[in-house]
Each structure stands twice: as C-alpha cells, then as structure tokens.
Amino acid sequence: MQKTVITKINTICSCGIGFDELKNNIAKEISAAQIQNFEMYDLPNAQYVFTVPNFEPKDILGKKGLRTLDKATKLLMCAIETGFKEYLDGLSENEKPGLVVGTAFGSLESIGNFVTDSIRFGVGAVNPGLFGNTVINSPAGNANIRYNLKNLSGTVSTGFTSGLEGLIFTCDHILQGYLPSIIYAGLEEASVYQFISAASENCLSKDDKIRPFAQIPQGYILGEGAAAMIVESENYAKKHNREIIASVEGYACGFDPDADFASNTNGDVLEYVVREAVSKAKISPEDAAFVSSSANGSGSDAVEAKVISRIFGDKTPVACYKQKFGETWGASGALALAAAIADLQKKSVSPIFTDGYSKIDGINIVKKSQFAIDKNYAVILSFSPYGNCAAVVVKNCK
C-alpha cells in the first residue's frame, strides 16, 4: 500500500536553528526568556516565553524585502532557507513541491496592530501595504513567491491542532495523487495579543515552568517557532533516490462537540482518533516506543492522561515536548513530530525536568533522565480544549 514519507526536516525553535540543534538539545532543560516589550505595546506585567535563540532573519534571508514582512513569515522563510534552499534550487519549476502551512493565527500581531491602528488613528492612517499580513495565508503566500512554489499554496487553521492537521492534509493530498511532494510546515509567532488573552483567561504559568499532567493545572508558557518537512509519496522518493528519514504510517483527526476547555469530556473522541491512527498504521499500542503528548500544564492534560492510560497503559513512555517549546499553537504538532523523530533516531525519549508538583498517576511520564527505547514507532498527539484532536503514527527509517 502506498504511504507518505519524510525526506527532509528543519526546525527553528527554542532548541536552536536547524534539526541538528533540535536533536542535540531536546533532551536538555530549556529555559524560557522573560519579556515585557513588543513592537508596538508593552505588557502589563513581564511574562515568560520560549523564543528562538540568536534569531536574526536578515542574517539568513538578507535585508531586501524584509521590512514589511511579519515575524511569522520570517520564521517560515528561515526554516525553508536554512533547510531546503539548496535542494529547491536544484529542481525545475515543475518538480518543485507544493506548500502547506499549519498555523492557528498566521500573524496575530499583524492583525491586531492593523486593527488597533485603524481604531486609534482612523482608517486613513493605516499602511495599506501591511494589510496583506493580516491574511492567515500570508506566510505561505510570501514563501510561495520567494521560492517560486507554484503547485500548491495551502493553510490549515484549527487552533492548537493546526500543526498535525496540516500534516494530515498534506498526506491526504499526496495519497490522492494531486502532488507527489509537498513542503509541510507548522508555524506560530508569539504575540502581545496572545499574552493578553491568555492572561485574561488565567491560562499562563505564574513562573518560568510548564508542569505537564499536574494534578492541579498551573498553566502554560507561550512559545514560537516553525518546523518544516519535505513530505513525499514513497514511490516518488525512491524513484529520485531520496534518503527516507521517517514514514507516516497512520493518522486521524476528529472533533469533540462536548469539549468545553476539556472540563466536561471523558476523551472518547480523542481515544477514537488515537485508536484509528494506530489501526491505520497496522500496529498495536504495545508496538509504540513512546507517546508524544500535547500536555501543556492546562486543564486539558487530565483528559489526555485518561486516554493515554486507557490505550497504552502505565508502561509506555510519555514525552512532554511542550515543556521545551512552550505552547506554540500551530507549530506545536510539527515541532513535536520533529522531536519524536529525533528521539527515535537517538533511541531514547527526552525527559522533563520540572520538580515540585504532584503529577497525574496512570501514565509513564519520562522525567529527569532519558528513557532508552528499542522500537521504531512513535504516536504523536495533538489535543485542543476546544474539541479538535489529531494523532499521527510515525516510523523511524534511519
């Protein structure tokens, strides 16, 4: 049966720039930075955020044409530039892949600033050249132009699950025969508007720690970043002698209409989605080396823990990558997928380091030290308190 495979990976996140940096640092303790100043506004209080260290887009992309581009677009372009530029330059126009981006907001900073300016100073005062940045497909569209990618420009936006659902859209598009090769990316920038809204809903951690699966939820820390991958049909990759890094063995997504910040759902839809992905991969839950959770320290962790326990029991290791990346919304699923592939290659699951909290029982969270594994499958989960959920099973091929 035909399947999709991943032939290139690149990441830009709190672990650094490049997949090798992610692979080298994902098992380490990553610290959030404290900030209070944004481009146009200051936050009422200093907040913590996981940012990309030493990120200077002009050093990667050059100065030309960057002035009107928002940070989300720059993150996406830099992920493509540092990972795939040489590869893309060697392809003819017809051979170039399509582009699919999973993002919750595109550039929320651009949307908020544009609207705020029009309210404060009048519609005649806004810069019309910045209107394009308010369109959620703007990062994908700008990347299409820069890299001459004419075969597909797609954006998937489903909130927290945008990253993994972007991959699912990509795989479906390939398996239906529309295109043999697509650049898939998960993307998000941190925005002052995210901080203000999350703080108003009491969602943010009061310190610089995320405590996944805490018995008493203590909130998350926002993050930003991008993960990009070349996804191709297996036959196309083999025909062109590509090195196959990993294969996408199974996936599923769904929506729980009863979810309300996860407080009144027992996770039946998420459980169905996970079991469906595992079934499509033609494996059993016992074949999984580990589960990559989407736990971020919020109330929805308890529902996810129930589902993991029911399907995988209390022996299968559980990774909590958001403690290293923060809650990066649309980038979360893609970054977790990249981290899971990195851990599969290293044959060990990266730990969390937070102490001093009481965790939910019934699942095997990897803490303090790496957990050795000898299997090649990982199950990546993405779960939203608003009801969206997705799961992907990936196999290490290196």
Q: What is the CATH number of the domain that holds 333?
A: 3.40.47.10
Mean pLDDT of 246-253: 98
139 within a domain of the structure (yes/no): yes
Q: Are residues 23 and 166 in the same domain?
A: yes
Q: Are residues 214 and 327 in the same domain?
A: no
Give the domain range for residue 262.
Answer: 250-396
261 band by pLDDT with thresholds 50, 70 and 90? low
The pLDDT of residue 259 is 78
Residue 166 has pLDDT above 80, yes or no: yes
Q: Are residues 217 and 295 in the same domain?
A: no
What is the pTM (predicted TM-score) of this model?
A: 0.96
244 within a domain of the structure (yes/no): no
Q: Are residues 229 and 282 in the same domain?
A: no
The pLDDT of residue 101 is 98
- Residue among 324, 321, 328 nearest 381 (CA): 321
Residue 260 has pLDDT above 80, yes or no: no
Q: Are residues 234 and 260 in the same domain?
A: no
Q: Are residues 260 and 230 in the same domain?
A: no
263 band by pLDDT with thresholds 50, 70 and 90? low
Of the two residues 44 and 348, the one the predictor is more confident about is 348
125 within a domain of the structure (yes/no): yes
The pLDDT of residue 132 is 87
The pLDDT of residue 62 is 96
The pLDDT of residue 262 is 58
Q: Are residues 214 and 323 in the same domain?
A: no
Of the two residues 213 and 120, the one the predictor is more confident about is 213
The H-assigned helical ranges of 283-321 are 301-312
- Residue among 292, 382, 374, 304 nearest 340 (CA): 292
Residue 39 has pLDDT above 70, yes or no: no
Q: Are residues 228 and 337 in the same domain?
A: no
Q: Are residues 353 and 320 in the same domain?
A: yes
Residue 140 has pLDDT above 90, yes or no: yes
Q: How many domains does the chain have?
A: 2
Residue 41 has pLDDT above 90, yes or no: no
Q: Are residues 93 and 231 in the same domain?
A: yes
Residue ending a domain, among 188, 212, 239, is 239
Residue ending a domain, among 239, 268, 295, is 239
CA distance 15 to 30: 7
Q: Are residues 292 and 200 in the same domain?
A: no
Amino acid letter at 223? Answer: G
245 within a domain of the structure (yes/no): no
Say if CB 20 and CB 266 are below 8 A apart.
no
Amino acid letter at 67? Answer: R
Mean pLDDT of the chain: 94
Mean pLDDT of 104-120: 89
Mean pLDDT of 381-387: 91
Q: Are residues 218 and 328 in the same domain?
A: no
With a CB cutoff of 8 Å and minimum separation 6, the contacts of 188 are 72, 103, 104, 105, 223, 224, 225, 226, 328, 329, 330, 331, 332
258 band by pLDDT with thresholds 50, 70 and 90? confident
